[in-house]
């Protein structure tokens, strides 16, 4: 078989996307911050409790905005995992800051909160926890560290839409948070994202940064009689066509999450025997974390040839993939970043991880086939 009979991802549409885009066209308002954008903002604010939600072109641009809001200076440091997507680091490096990579926890693959304090220096300004697979970091512990050391917290909640920690929505716990609506995430608009501003003191500056550094937002609200260049900024707001698409997804976010969790739970049950025989380790969800079924991964037992397993899965028509190449081992990570402590778990766990097909509509029979083929490969 050459093409993937069971693809890794299949973007899900609710069916209302095109109708809402037609409505946006009918509104004769295609640039940003029209009726659909406002609906999306309200929805995120009500769901998460953040002070202000602002749609962006991507999670990457939301993180760029966060880095601008923190007023980072050259040489300032931001503590983050190395096991993450490049955007977590890039946003801060663009401001001249240094990503300081700290190891991850064995259970969740999230930044190890117990190793953060040892990495703090007089230049440390912020912590950027990443909620891997929509499973929360240990936020209370990190918030206490941030408070003691006067640091800001920027949550990379790209994967955390609809997930929570002790009942609090991911992205709305730290000072700032970011969502992704990229087509590979749970709730999508092709490309898309949002900045969640939780500190009310940062809201008006966030609006200015997003509107090319102008106070256009205040002008539209009638608070000033003309708008002018106020601050650093760029164009971070998506068009109404994107917001209209996103609205069709947010309306169904509850159901989409529910369906993903059902798929996740089925994999978890089907793969229990492989874990019992010691060939894989399944994901571990701490009691305080309500996840969102974003990723189903397994960690292959040490010594198993991951590339070989992925190749055989592919030969059987199954689209399984690995995940992050740790940033500290990448050319730009070595140029711009610094490592604190050993990153043994980051290195060893990232080399053992494979993600299984996960998308709304993935049927039980397809999942059974994925698990049967994986079992047959590993038991050979
Ligand atoms: C997907 C992802 C991003 C980037 O999101 P975009 O919307 O594609 O910019 C950043 N961080 C993490 C952890 C991600 O998973």
Q: What pLDDT digit, counting tens, does each position of 271-301 carry?
A: 999 999 999 999 999 999 999 999 999 999 9
**How many Å lie between the centroid of ligand 1 and the Cα of residue 180?**
6
Which residues of the chain are in CATH 3.90.1150.10 domains?
Answer: 253-378
Strands, sheet with 77-81, edge to edge from the N-terminal-most edge strand: 52-56, 193-197, 176-180, 152-156, 124-127, 77-81, 98-102, 338-339
Beta strands per DSSP E along 171-312: 176-180, 193-197, 280-281, 289-290, 297-300
Tokens of 145: 């560290």
- Ligand 1, from 11, 54, 59: best to mutate by most atoms within 8 Å of Cβ? 59
Please tell me the predicted confidence (pLDDT) of residue 254: 98
**How many Å lie between the centroid of ligand 1 and the Cα of residue 296?**
17
Tokens of 147: 């408070």
**How many Å lie between the centroid of ligand 1 and the Cα of residue 219?**
32
| C-alpha closest to that of 254 among 360, 156, 179 | 360
Please tell me the predicted confidence (pLDDT) of residue 251: 98
Which residues of the chain are in CATH 3.40.640.10 domains?
Answer: 17-250
| C-alpha closest to that of 316 among 379, 269, 277, 372 | 372
Beta strands per DSSP E along 198-281: 280-281
**How many Å lie between the centroid of ligand 1 and the Cα of residue 375?**
31
Phi/psi for 137 (5° steps) reads -70, 170
**pLDDT lower than 50: segments of the chain:** 1-3
User: Distance from CA of residue 100 to its chain's centroid?
Assistant: 19
C-alpha atoms less than 13 angstroms from C-alpha of 309 in its C-beta half-sphere: 30
Ligand 1 contact, 367 CB (< 6 A): no
Cα distances (Å, whole numbers) of residue 74 to 77, 124, 127, 152, 323: 9, 12, 16, 17, 30
Tokens of 264: 């996740």
| Residues 61, 32: Cα–Cα separation, whole Å | 15
| C-alpha closest to that of 283 among 158, 131, 166, 177 | 131
Please tell me the predicted confidence (pLDDT) of residue 3: 46
Q: Using a cut of 0.85, tell me whether the model's pTM lies above it.
A: yes
Q: Are 156 and 68 in contact (CB under 8 A)?
A: no
Please tell me the predicted confidence (pLDDT) of residue 4: 55
156: enclosing H helix or E strand: strand 152-156
Ligand 1 nearest-atom number relative to CA 181? 7
Ligand 1 contact, 193 CB (< 6 A): yes
| C-alpha closest to that of 77 among 373, 339, 352, 371 | 339
Ligand 1 nearest-atom number relative to CA 57? 7
Q: Are 32 and 346 in contact (CB under 8 A)?
A: no
**How many Å lie between the centroid of ligand 1 and the Cα of residue 186?**
12
Ligand 1 nearest-atom number relative to CA 60? 9
Q: Are 155 and 133 in contact (CB under 8 A)?
A: no
Give Cβ neighbours of residue 347 (< 8 Å, ≥ 6 apart).
326, 329
**How many Å lie between the centroid of ligand 1 and the Cα of residue 84?**
9
In CATH terms, the fold of domain 253-378 is 3.90.1150
Cα distances (Å, whole numbers) of residue 114 to 111, 168, 177: 9, 21, 21
Ligand 1 contact, 159 CB (< 6 A): yes
**How many Å lie between the centroid of ligand 1 and the Cα of residue 181?**
8
What 3-state DSSP class applies to 150? coil
- Out of 3.40.50.2000, 3.30.365.10, 3.90.1150.10, 3.40.640.10, which CATH number does the structure's domain 17-250 have? 3.40.640.10
| C-alpha closest to that of 167 among 48, 41, 286 | 48
| Residues 24, 17: Cα–Cα separation, whole Å | 11
Ligand 1 contact, 65 CB (< 6 A): no
Ligand 1 contact, 88 CB (< 6 A): yes
Task: Give the angle subtended at the CA of 235 by the CAs of 202 and 10, to the nearest 5°.
Answer: 100
Place of tokens 């994901």: 283
Please tell me the predicted confidence (pLDDT) of residue 134: 98
Tokens of 187: 């709730």
């Amino acid at each position: 078989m050459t093409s993937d009979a069971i693809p890794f991802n299949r973007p899900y549409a609710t069916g209302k996307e095109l109708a809402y885009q037609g409505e946006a066209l009918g509104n004769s308002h295609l640039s940003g911050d029209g009726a659909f954008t406002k609906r999306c903002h309200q929805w995120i604010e009500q769901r998460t409790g953040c002070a202000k939600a602002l749609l962006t072109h991507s999670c990457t641009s939301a993180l760029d905005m966060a880095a601008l809001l923190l007023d980072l200076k050259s040489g300032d440091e931001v503590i983050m995992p190395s096991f993450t997507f490049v955007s977590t680091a890039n946003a801060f490096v663009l401001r001249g800051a240094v990503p300081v990579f700290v190891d991850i926890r064995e259970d969740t693959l999230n930044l190890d909160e117990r190793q953060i304090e040892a990495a703090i220096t007089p230049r440390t300004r912020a912590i950027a926890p990443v909620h891997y697979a929509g499973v929360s970091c240990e936020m209370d512990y990190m918030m206490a560290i941030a408070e003691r050391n006067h640091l800001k917290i920027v949550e990379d909640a790209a994967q955390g839409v609809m997930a929570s920690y002790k009942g609090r929505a991911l992205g709305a716990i730290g000072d700032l948070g970011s969502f992704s609506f990229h087509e590979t995430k749970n709730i999508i608009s092709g490309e898309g994202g949002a900045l969640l501003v939780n500190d009310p003191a940062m809201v008006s500056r966030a609006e200015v940064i997003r509107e090319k550094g102008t106070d256009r937002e205040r002008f539209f609200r009638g608070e000033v009689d003309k708008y002018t260049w106020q601050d650093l900024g760029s164009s971070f707001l998506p068009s109404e066509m994107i917001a209209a698409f996103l609205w069709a997804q947010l309306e169904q976010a509850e159901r989409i999450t529910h369906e993903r969790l059902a798929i996740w739970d089925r994999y978890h049950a089907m793969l229990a025997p492989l874990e019992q025989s010691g060939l894989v380790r399944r994901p571990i969800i701490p009691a305080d974390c309500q996840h969102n079924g974003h990723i189903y991964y397994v960690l292959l037992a040490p010594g198993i040839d991951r590339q070989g397993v992925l190749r055989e899965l592919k030969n059987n028509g199954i689209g399984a993939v690995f995940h992050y190449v740790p940033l500290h081992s990448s050319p730009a990570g070595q140029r711009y970043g610094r490592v604190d402590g050993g990153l043994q778990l980051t290195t060893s766990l990232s080399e053992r991880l494979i993600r299984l097909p996960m998308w709304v509509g993935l049927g039980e029979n397809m999942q059974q086939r994925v698990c049967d083929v994986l079992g047959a490969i590993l038991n050979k």
